[in-house]
Amino acid sequence: MDLRELEGQRRRARELVEKEGLDPYPVEFAIVDKEELDELAAYEGFPERYPHWRFGMEYDHQKKRSSYGGMRLYELVLNSSPALAYLREDNTAVQNKAVMVHVYAHADFFAHNKWYKGTGKSGIKMMRDHAERIESYMESEGVEAVESFVDKVLSLKMTIDQYGPFLQRRTERGDEGGEGNEEGNKIPVKRDYMDRFVNPPEKAEQGGKDLKGRQGSKTGEEVQLPTSDLLGFLGREGKLEEWQREILAALREESYYFAPQMMTKVMNEGWAAYWQSKIMSERGFAKDSEFLDHADMQSRVLGSGGLNPYMLGKRIWEDVKERWDKGRHGREWENCRDREKRKNWDREEERGREKIFEVRSNLNDVSFLDRFFTREVFQEMNLFTYEWVQGSGQYHITSKDFEPVKRKLLFQFTNMGRPTIKVQTGNFENRGELLLVHEFNGVNLHLGDARRVLKNVYSLWGKPVNLKTVREKSGRITQIGFKERDPFRRRSAPEKQREGLLLRCAGSEIEEKKLDLAQVEELIFDSVDYDTVPDSWRS
């Protein structure tokens, strides 16, 4: 690889993206071989992570994927300023150019999407600090003890309040001055940008009426309950030794660091794919002789199966651009049912560019898909929903219609695709037990895994841990492939059978107790029906 040529390409790539209005962090590109890239991928791109077997597992899988899975990893970029990205030494020139543009678009997204504001600019340094800290605890406390503790914390890495940082930063900026004197009670945090949401200053009392939801903590501080930040709650209130508290705080900080990337996967990947395609093809960054190679590379990325975030995101960005260029929005557009008229609709607004930059700054995947996954986008993508059918022991296609597909899509991105679990109280039934609740949206919790997680929570909490959930038994489905039969013979769906469950973990055993629906009523949030099984299938 000719480094001078490469540097020329890099400078050109930066010029081209800036000309389009992108404003990326500076990016450092490192040249690595295939093996190094596999390693880095295992560490989620970071040169240094704390020692842990799961990185070894990732490495094992990554190596297999890249060696005989035919999955070539093209691009890996870290959210940091400067950002760090990697180029494989055996990349062709056109691959390098495409990766650079793609990476610059990500670096623009990191720098400007508002959900990333809390992540700061020094992710690489943070990971290195954590690696050093955890390594030093391994020396003093023993590798086994530390690794097994890390396993337990990682079991809860997604139970954070991913909206918290953003909301608190906005509402409580004025209170910052008051936090200096509480140093002793805080979760230790090394960077002050994190501090604000890891240890949010107390909200003003909203009168005494929600006392039920609050409790005095061991440190004398008040914790606002319920909270989705189980990890933070355990960090404060759990029965932990000092080194454990430190490690928990570090891993929680990493969770908050990664959360925005999980909340904007479709947007971010789509944004990068969109600009890559635009600049390589339309702006001619790929030479004529390279055109085919680039098309091939792109089709590999965009064409891989399942629901591909690159493809989905790119389609939506293109659609938004076109709609605001042609004025296809607002009430008149929404209400227009004339197909011909819609097809030719062009008010020559030319606001597409402005719009996409505004959207990239303000939305996350849920709001992005909610607003811009339109019937038109849907029609181009051949998407379908599927559900499990007990009787056949298989998943079956249940719908190819817009509304169910969109509902399912939003379900998969809401709360990062995870069930919502909250801490209700740390003094359940006045016994100092922890009570977690699962906010039931019509989709069951995986109870097997929940049991395993509870055991981990138990060891962090130090006393029995309870989880309230709701379980729905689906009605028996008898007809599949109903098409041949009389489509008008509709049968009503059976009453949904639901029951409440209370799991209680007091060590290695887990008790399970059925609850009346009345006891879990306040946990049911099922205004949207995510079940896409056609009514006609049920008996």
Partner 1 sequence: MRRRIRKDHERFKRIVKGKIREDLKELIGGGYLQGQRGSEKVKVPIKDIDIPQFRYDPHSAGGIASGSPGEEGEEEVGTPIGADEGDLGSEIRPGSGPGTHYPEVEIDIEELAQIIGEELQLPRIEPKGEETEIKEGQSYRDVSITGPETLLRKKKAFRKGLIRSILLQAGKEEDALPFELPTPKAVIKDGVVPIKEDKEYLYPNREERSKAQAVIFFMRDVSGSMTGEKTDIIRQENHLIDIWLQANYDDVKRVYLIHDYNAAEVTEEQFYQLSTGGGTRISSVYKLCLEKINRKYRPDEWNIYPFHFSDGENWAQDSLERCLPLLVDDLLPKVNVFCYGQVSPDRDMPRGHLRALNKVLAEDEKMATSIISDRAGILSSIKDFLGTGR
CB 208 within 8 A of CB 222: no
Query: Directed axis angle between helix 93-112 and helix 3-19, to 10°?
Result: 40
Query: Are 416 and 454 in contact, with CB atoms under 8 Å apart?
Result: no
CB-wise, 2 or 288, nearer to partner 1?
Answer: 2
Residue 64 vs 375, nearer CB to partner 1: 64
What number of CA atoms fall less than 13 Å from residue 45's CA on the CB side?
A: 19
Whole-number Cα distances in Å, 444 to 256, 364, 437, 470, 473: 26, 25, 13, 7, 9
d(CA 210, CA 219): 20
Nearest-angstrom CA–CA distance, 102 and 273: 6
Residue 457 CB, shortest distance to partner 1, in Å, is: 10
Instruction: Name which of 480 and 506 has its Cβ closer to partner 1.
Output: 480
Closest distance of CB 105 from partner 1, Å: 19
| Residue nearer to partner 1 on the CB measure, 333 or 384 | 384
Complex with partner 1: residue 189 or 302, whichever CB lies closer: 302
In the complex, least distance from residue 409 CB atom to partner 1, rounded to whole angstroms? 6
- Whether residue 249 contacts residue 189, with contact meaning beta carbons closer than 8 Å, is answered with yes
Nearer to partner 1, 199 or 398 (CB): 398
Edge-to-edge strands, sheet with 83-88: 27-32, 83-88, 77-78
Cβ 80 to partner 1, closest distance in Å? 8
Given CA atoms 216, 219, 224, 229 in this order, what sign does their dihedral have? negative
CB of 419 to partner 1, least distance (A): 6
**Minimum Å distance from CB 85 to partner 1?**
12
Q: How far is the CB of 359 from partner 1 (least distance, A)?
A: 18
What minimum distance in Å lies between the beta carbon of 36 and partner 1?
8
Q: State residue 169 phi and psi, 5-degree precision.
A: -60, -40
Cis geometry, peptide bond prior to residue 82 (ω within 30 degrees of 0): yes
Closest distance to partner 1 from the beta carbon of 169 (Å): 22
Q: How far apart are CA 4 and CA 2, in angstroms?
A: 6
Bridge partners, residue 467, by sequence: 436, 503
C-alpha 47: how far from chain center: 22
Q: Is the CB of 239 or the CB of 400 nearer to partner 1?
A: 400
d(CA 142, CA 136): 9
Q: CB 346 → partner 1: shortest distance, Å?
A: 27
In whole angstroms, the minimum distance from the beta carbon of 309 to partner 1 comes to 7
Running DSSP on this structure, what letter comes out for residue 206?
Answer: -
28: phi > 0 → left, psi -120 to 50 → alpha, else beta; which? beta
Helix/strand/coil (H/E/C) assignment for every residue in 425-441: EEEECCCCEEEEEEEEC
Distance CA(91)–CA(101), nearest Å, equals: 14
**218/388 with CB nearer partner 1:** 388
Report in angstroms how near the CB of residue 326 gets to partner 1 at its nearest: 25
Closer Cβ to partner 1, 342 or 446, answer by number: 446
Q: Is the Cα dihedral 360, 361, 367, 372 positive or negative?
A: negative
Nearer to partner 1, 356 or 366 (CB): 366
Q: Is 401 exposed, middle or buried (0-12, 13-18, 19+ CB in 10 A)?
A: middle
Nearer to partner 1, 408 or 468 (CB): 408
Select 347 or 471, whichever has its Cβ closest to partner 1: 471
215 burial via Cβ count (<10 Å: 0-12, 13-18, 19+): middle
Task: Pick between residue 56 and residue 432 the one whose CB is nearest to partner 1.
Answer: 56
Q: Any idea what DSSP says for residue 278?
A: I
Q: Which of 75, 3, 82, 1 is nearest to 40 (CA)?
A: 75
CB contact at 8 A, 501 and 515: yes
Q: Supply the minimum distance, in Å, between the C-beta of residue 58 and partner 1.
A: 6
What is the DSSP secondary structure assignment for residue 511, as one 8-state letter?
E
